[in-house]
Amino acid sequence: MKRLVLLFAALFIVSGMAYSQKREPGKVKTLVIDPGHGGDKPGALGKHSKEKELTLSIAKKFGKLVQDNYPDVNVIYTRTTDVDVALSERANIANRAKADLFISIHCNSHPTSVPVGMETYVMGLSRSRANMEVAKKENADILLESGYKDNKDYQGFDPNSPESYVMFAMYQNAYIDKSLNFAQYAQDQYKSNIKTTNRGVKQAEFFVIYKTAMPAVLTEVGFISNPTEEAYMMSDEGQATIAVCLLNAFANYKAHEEASVKPAKMEVDLPGYGKNKNPKKNNNAVADSNAKAQQRQDDALATAILQSQGEEAPKAEVEAPAAPEKENLSGLVKIDQEEAELTVTVQKDQVVVEGVTYKVQFLTSDKELKEGAKDFKGVSGYHVYKQDGVYRYTMGNEPTIARAKNIQNDLRKKGFKDAFVIAFYNGKRISLQEARELQKGE
């Protein structure tokens, strides 16, 4: 009980700091960039890289872009080399500088290689166990600090103790709206420019942004545990693109805060981007490789979800000869995409099921295929939606993954070896992980 009283007392002191900071109203002049981990705290480990290395490289590229385009903005890093900086000190650096914005850059990880995507957090109570686990993982750096129990900045906080997280419950962040604004700008940029899952804006109890007295976010720029995303984050192109996304998010945020106009053209001079991009690179081949990898990941995740629900994935049967190609098609459902938002047009008495449903994607094409085309191998009753300029053909509209996996096996028997399960919510494409979380709440 005494410990809780001390935590609450410290809470009100920290909350007051937000109001005591004095900065020029409406101006964004000081930006603090925090590359996650460092030194003896490697963060998450990939097969070929460490989180601390990737975050530092991306942070420097982002900072350079801000300085190139906004020479009046003071860019401060919590670290510029592979050194250990305490979580409390990272926040203190920003507070001492009276920063106008704090951005902490991290790489996500998972025990399996399946999850992909980018997400941005603001300070708040976790709304799911997954969010809490991400926060615990990042907060765990505290335990690697010598003498952390005697560090008054931590106020006895233990990242593995549920009791310690009580202190976040009553925390009132004076800058939550502005933090949310930047987080959304960042996610919008990721969604528009990087071919991966948009995991959205979330809230969780990250100590480093809890202690900052200014708008603050923590952004997870990809899963280091996923080979495709690790390779992307290690590449010049990937790091440059992430940095440009953060630059544009900063530009939008600054323009909004200052009621000014975003520069018509941003200067970007980074390896792997724009004029510096390798012209010999076969982007179509890379995109196709990434798409195939995503299919394999979704397939593995569907099986993992089934197993977590106590069910076994239906066993695939030996591939059978393709069905006759002359069978008529019926029940066409078209889903057109405009700026990544799916809208549904229903034809021939088909109904879009509300809630989470599962389909099996079995065919893609750069142009819309005519009914009866040989590409369908006699499959009828398919659905089609358009995304990123590609027509994607699906079968089924099932309430469970198990039923969708049965359809997947049937399609593979007909020659569609790459058929895989995907999820929709009220007619909009979502990730399988998002579908799983939604169904948990039902």
Tell me how far apart the alpha carbons of residues 384 and 317 are, in angstroms, rounded to a whole number: 26
CA angle (117 as vertex; 115, 118 as ends), nearest 5:
135
Contacts of 56 (CB under 8 A, 6+ apart): 35, 38, 79, 80, 81, 82
pLDDT at 296: 67
Residue holding tokens 């001079």?
269
Q: Which of 9-18, 184-193, 396-405 has the lowest mean pLDDT?
A: 9-18
Cβ-based burial of 86 (10 A; exposed 0-12, middle 13-18, buried ≥19): buried
* Secondary structure letter of residue 154 according to DSSP: G
pLDDT at 62: 97
Per-residue tokens: 122: 């603001």
Summarize the confidence of residues 311-317 as an average pLDDT. 52
Please give the CATH superfamily to which domain 2-276 belongs. Zn-dependent exopeptidases (3.40.630.40)
Distance of CA 129 to the CA centre of its chain: 16
SS3 103: strand
Per-residue tokens: 392: 């994607």
Tell me how far apart the alpha carbons of residues 349 and 115 are, in angstroms, rounded to a whole number: 36
Q: Which of 57-66, 301-310, 404-413 has the lowest mean pLDDT?
A: 301-310
pLDDT at 316: 47
Whether 59 contacts 33, CB under 8 Å: yes
Summarize the confidence of residues 203-213 as an average pLDDT. 77
Distance of CA 282 to the CA centre of its chain: 26
Domain ranges of the chain: 2-276, 284-440
Count CA atoms within 13 Å of residue 244 on its CB side. Answer: 20
Count CA atoms within 13 Å of residue 216 on its CB side. Answer: 28
Edge-first strand order for the sheet with 74-77 is: 74-77, 30-35, 101-108, 216-223, 118-123, 198-204
Q: Is the pLDDT of residue 166 over 60?
A: no
Task: Answer with the residue of higher pLDDT: 207 or 163.
Answer: 207
Tell me how far apart the alpha carbons of residues 10 and 157 are, in angstroms, rounded to a whole number: 11
Whether 295 contacts 116, CB under 8 Å: no
Report pLDDT digits (tens) over 91-128. Answer: 889 999 999 999 999 999 998 888 999 999 988 755 54
Q: What's phi and psi for 97, nearest 5 deg?
A: -80, -5
Q: Is the pLDDT of residue 158 over 50?
A: yes
Report pLDDT digits (tens) over 354-394. Answer: 788 889 999 888 888 888 888 888 888 888 888 777 888 99
Tell me how far apart the alpha carbons of residues 235 and 240 are, in angstroms, rounded to a whole number: 8
Per-residue tokens: 209: 């942004």
DSSP 388-424: TTEEEEEEEEESSHHHHHHHHHHHHHTT-TT-EEEEE
Q: Which of 58-72, 199-213, 348-362 has the lowest mean pLDDT?
A: 348-362
Query: Which H helix or E strand runs over 222?
Result: strand 216-223
